[in-house]
Amino acid sequence: MDKEQRLKELKEHSSEILEQGITEQQIFEQLEVFERGELFTEIVKPCVKGDGIFVIDDSHSNELLGNYRSAAMSGRLTKFIPASGAATRMFNHIQSYLINSEPISIGELKKEMNSDSDAKSVYEFITNIKYFAFYEDLKSLLSTEKIDLDNISDDDDISIILRKVLDSSGLNYSFYPKGAILFHKYNGEKRTAFEEHIYEAVELLKDQSGNVRIHFTLSEEHVELFKEIIEKATKHFQKQSVQVKATNSFQKKSTDTISVTLDNQLFKDSNKKLVFRPAGHGALIENLNDLDADIVLIKNIDNILPSTKNAESIKSKKILTGFLIKIQKQVFNYLKIIDSKDVNEIIINEIKTFASDFLSVQLTDSFEGKTTDEKTDYLFERLNRPIRVCGMVKNEGHPGGGPFWVRNKNDEVSIQIIEESQINKRDRSKADIFDASTHFNPVDMICAVRDFNSKKFNLKNFVDESSGLITTKTFEGKQLKALELPGLWNGAMAYWNTVFVEIPAETFNPVKEINDLLKPQHRL
């Protein structure tokens, strides 16, 4: 179908498109992405220590901690937590086993656990249930069913216990956002992930007036639950003269993307309406862009420890923040020199060295042939971007993305966070590069989003639109192709100035599935 026919077809759905808050041109561009097919990234080599990844020596700690303290006290810091969506995936093993095996007994689980990963997970969950922070709440709910959670025999049907964890008649955890699930229990206190992030934010971000700024992205159906939990935490800190300014936003409908059939025609539902789908966490660049902030600490909702065990994580974030500020000061200094027009070849060479050593900027061969004015213009544009310092942990087999040197369509090489799905692993050479990666992205980032004149960058100007992902989904029993926008820390930040820093593995403690809460670091 040619462009004219495609645009004519879109005109027939103009009211739906208008309601979605996007334009026909945007949809047309998305359709072109489907036509191009798989969007693989050309990785050149993995980032390693000394070649794309910094290791910060302890001798610099005092300077960097001083930078951090100054920024915190002056109110420059904000925390941003992507927390959209339900916690369904945390309970995948339990839900899968419930579907295929009911009634369920511990005795049966013992027989099957060596050959069935779902059975093994359910067995681990049920036999350690007293260690979960929600144990007392669950026990109270089950008492009305005449079930004593402290005395379960190997022959008892435990399916009702599992359903009380998941269903609306019980804890309703399959509906709850991950942030609303009780993660940790202390002596006389239980905290959700939302609350733990607030406790961490108070320790990290409190300014000289006692203000703490933290922002969560949510799904709209969870907002009342979120507010209820946050109110409890903010009241606790008000008694200590700390004002927690917890705000939230939703993923915008206008960031949803069009769906197509397997042969790239517009996919329509049973009512002949276009089908739009949420486009992944890359859509949250809009939410980050809307935030009135200066330096933003980004961390996933599930990567949070009890506040009695987070000293290493807190110190790491302070060091990363101080390092970002050190780099930002030098970037701003160079930008002001260029802006003043007081530039010569000596200054240009100094800026080149800094950009290479600290920002991993690789200049193209054509740079040396440029005039002095052309060089300064290029360097100004290259430095005048948002900055992010990203913590990287040693790769211990976690699924997900990592730091790589990448070549873009303009033949420019830069360092990026790349997901496995972005790599054509059918190409043996690319698979080998991916497998040689030494570090993993835990999503622990410090972001500077203002320029040298303290004006907010428009973060949407620094997105690599070509780095989205095409996935296959099912809707109303039919297969469709969906488009995910460039990930928040992947293509959505592709044209930022990026710095990777090795951080301790102890700072990465995600809760991807419910039994992760049984690990020693999550238990007191």
Question: What is the tens place of the pLDDT at every residue in 288-339?
Answer: 999 999 999 999 999 999 999 999 999 999 999 999 999 999 999 999 999 9
Q: What is the pLDDT of residue 416?
A: 97
pLDDT of residue 24: 86
pLDDT at 50: 95
| Tokens representing residue 14 in the block | 């103009």
Distance between CA atoms of residues 359 and 306, nearest Å:
34
* Structure confidence by residue, pLDDT tens digits, 27-47: 888 888 888 887 789 999 999
Query: Rounded CA gap, 517 and 524, in Å?
Result: 11
Helix (H) or strand (E) holding 393: strand 387-394
CA–CA gap between residue 390 and residue 1 (Å, rounded): 43
- At 101 the three-state DSSP class reads coil
Residue 468 reports pLDDT greater than 90 = no
**pLDDT for res 31:** 87
Sequence-ordered list of residues with C-beta below 8 angstroms from that of 310, at least 6 positions apart, any chain: 200, 203, 304
Distance CA 86, CA 89 (A): 8
Contact indicator for 216, 226 with CB cutoff of 8 Å: yes
pLDDT attached to residue 1: 59
pLDDT in the model for residue 102: 75
- Tokens matching residue 166: 């998941």
The pLDDT of 228-243, averaged and rounded, is: 95
Give residue 292's Cα distance to chain centre: 19
* Sign of the torsion formed by the C-alpha atoms of 54, 338, 321 and 508: negative
What's the whole-number average pLDDT of the chain?
93
Which single residue is written with the structure tokens 């930022």?
A: 496
| Sequence-separated (6 or more) residues with CB below 8 Å from residue 369 | none
What is the C-alpha separation between 423 and 340, in angstroms, rounded? 43
Which residues contact residue 2 at a Cβ distance below 8 angstroms, ignoring those fewer than 6 apart?
none
pTM (predicted TM-score): 0.93
Q: Which amino acid is at 97?
A: Y
Backbone region of residue 50 per phi and psi (left: phi > 0; alpha: psi in -120 to 50; beta: other values): left
Structure tokens at 204: 């990290």
Res. 437 pLDDT band, cuts 50 70 90: very high
Taking only the tens place, the pLDDT of each residue in 469-492 is 888 889 898 999 999 888 999 999
Q: What is the pLDDT of residues 98-117, one digit of tens each?
A: 887 778 999 999 999 999 99
Q: What is the pLDDT of residue 214?
A: 98
CA-CA-CA-CA dihedral for 390, 391, 394, 399, to nearest 10: -60
- Helices of type H across 285-396: 285-290, 311-339, 345-359, 372-383
Residue 204 pLDDT > 90, yes or no?
Answer: yes
- DSSP codes of every residue in 259-303: -B-TTSPBPB-TTS-B-EE---GGGGHHHHHHS--SEEEEE-TT-
- Ordered by start, the domain boundaries in the chain are 41-76+297-464+487-517, 88-166
